[in-house]
Structure 1
Amino acid sequence: MPLYLTAILLPSPLSEEIDDIRKEISSKYNVYAALKPPVHITLYRPLSIPLTTEKNLIQLLKPVAFMHNSFEQKLQNFDSFNNKTLFVHCVKQPILNNLQKDISAVFHKNKLDPDENKSNSSFHPHITIAFRDVTPEIFIPLWAEYKNRKLKRSFTIDRFTLLRHDGKKWQALEEFLLQKPEELKLF
């Protein structure tokens, strides 16, 4: 079964700038897992779904794009999870949380996620720059280097993307433009 990921892909040149940070970390600390996916904010975790369900999943996700307008997202500095994941911190905001909740609802209401316990019940938006192959011995100097490093950027989120893993890398399968219709004015 193919693996699917629902995410926000960052625009160039911001994506390239963060990818350069990932490459710098990989080179310096000999960790490479974070280089595999594109630079992104996960909206729904990687999930194996039968290929026969793919077209249905795309149709189910389309209405979510019509429930949201584009918005500005701020990125600020670096943070970590569990002494093994380093990431760029996304400033929390209700608009992004609502988008993620609406996408999660598609997976849950349509029973696409057999293990809902691993679902995104506690959404913490971030852009991973080092994880999985970061050992505690590597994390200590890595965190020492990045915990006080400053980064402040922003970009417009105007779409989300469904990606499919082709066995070697993630491929963008479908983009969903955020385009909530203007509210109807009744006279």
Structure 2
Amino acid sequence: MAKIIGKYFIAWIPSSEVIAKVDSIKNSLKDNFGLKYALKSPPHITLKMPFSWNEAKEHLLIQNLQKFLSHENDFTLDLDGFGKFGKRVIFIKVSRSEELVQLQSRLVQHCKQELKLVKELSDSNYHPHMTIAFKDLKTRAFEEYWNYVCKLTFCQQNQTGKIVLLKKIENSWSFFENLKSQDTLIL
């Protein structure tokens, strides 16, 4: 039997209320400008960049990550306003959270040591954000996109919703497994 390698990443997923608001913005960008690539994944904040894993050993990956995350504390995140990375990405800003930065650092280190996953450059230069447009942004029209987004408002405070494992299925990222949730949120 051939080994099947899947693509995965680990992310924080907000409450269903925030998901609906972010999806509304993504859909607005699609309707107004044809920007649809960001709709291929649910609203999230990446904690561990995409990696490859043997599908036959998914249960070991899930057990390992759930055990690691069971010792992590919950925290509040503030999502406020918009930002950009050059003319490549437009995102919702995540206010500085030392708890999030420390969790991401511990998780990446755990993944490197225990799961033998590669530490990506963006794992080291962590800048938490929630992407709303990328990849299909056209440089010549970027100012038009940016001006449109700057007229919107976005301000939400969220307890840690879920930390999940997402899997690439048919060119889209899908929820695969819940790794940690906070009981007080209904998602």
Q: Which TM-score tier does this pair reach, normalised by the shorter chain?
A: 0.7 to 0.9
Which secondary structure state, in structure 1, belongs to the residue aligned with residue 56 of structure 2? helix
The alpha-carbon distance between structure 1 residues 86 and 119, as it changes in their structure 2 partners (threshold 3 A), is closer
Normalization by structure 2: what TM-score?
A: 0.86
Match of 2:14 among 10, 13, 18: 10
Match of 1:125 among 112, 125, 128: 128
Alignment partner, residue 102 of structure 2 = 98
The alpha-carbon distance between structure 1 residues 111 and 62, as it changes in their structure 2 partners (threshold 3 A), is closer
- C-alpha displacement at 1:84, in angstroms? 1.7
State the Cα deviation string for residues 3-50 of structure 1 (Å, max 9, x = none).
101001121111011100000011111111100001111111111222
Q: Report if the CA contact (8 A) 2:45-2:130 is conserved.
A: yes
Q: Report if the CA contact (8 A) 1:6-1:160 is conserved.
A: yes
CA distance in structure 2 between the aligned counterparts of 1:174 and 1:102, rounded to whole angstroms: 20
Residue 42 in 1 paired to residue 46 in 2?
yes
Q: Report if the CA contact (8 A) 1:84-1:134 is conserved.
A: yes
CA distance in structure 1 between the aligned counterparts of 2:145 and 2:133, rounded to whole angstroms: 9
Alignment partner, residue 91 of structure 2 = 87
Q: Report if the CA contact (8 A) 2:11-2:44 is conserved.
A: yes
Structure 2: gaps (5+ residues): 183-187
Aligned residues: 178
The alpha-carbon distance between structure 1 residues 67 and 98, as it changes in their structure 2 partners (threshold 3 A), is farther
Name segments (4+ residues, structure 1) moved above 4 Å.
none
State the Cα deviation string for residues 74-125 of structure 1 (Å, max 9, x = none).
01100001212100001111111111112111221135334x3445101111
Alignment partner, residue 21 of structure 1 = 25
Q: Report if the CA contact (8 A) 2:9-2:51 is conserved.
A: yes
The percent identity for this pair of structures is 26
Residue 169 in 1 paired to residue 172 in 2?
yes
Q: Report if the CA contact (8 A) 2:62-2:179 is conserved.
A: no
Further displaced range: 91-100 or 142-151: 142-151
- C-alpha displacement at 1:168, in angstroms? 4.3
Further displaced range: 105-114 or 26-35: 105-114
Q: Report if the CA contact (8 A) 1:68-1:178 is conserved.
A: no
Alignment partner, residue 185 of structure 1 = none
Which secondary structure state, in structure 1, belongs to the residue aligned with residue 153 of structure 2? coil
Which secondary structure state, in structure 2, belongs to the residue aligned with residue 2 of structure 1? strand
- C-alpha displacement at 1:178, in angstroms? 5.6
Alignment partner, residue 144 of structure 1 = 147
Alignment partner, residue 74 of structure 2 = 70
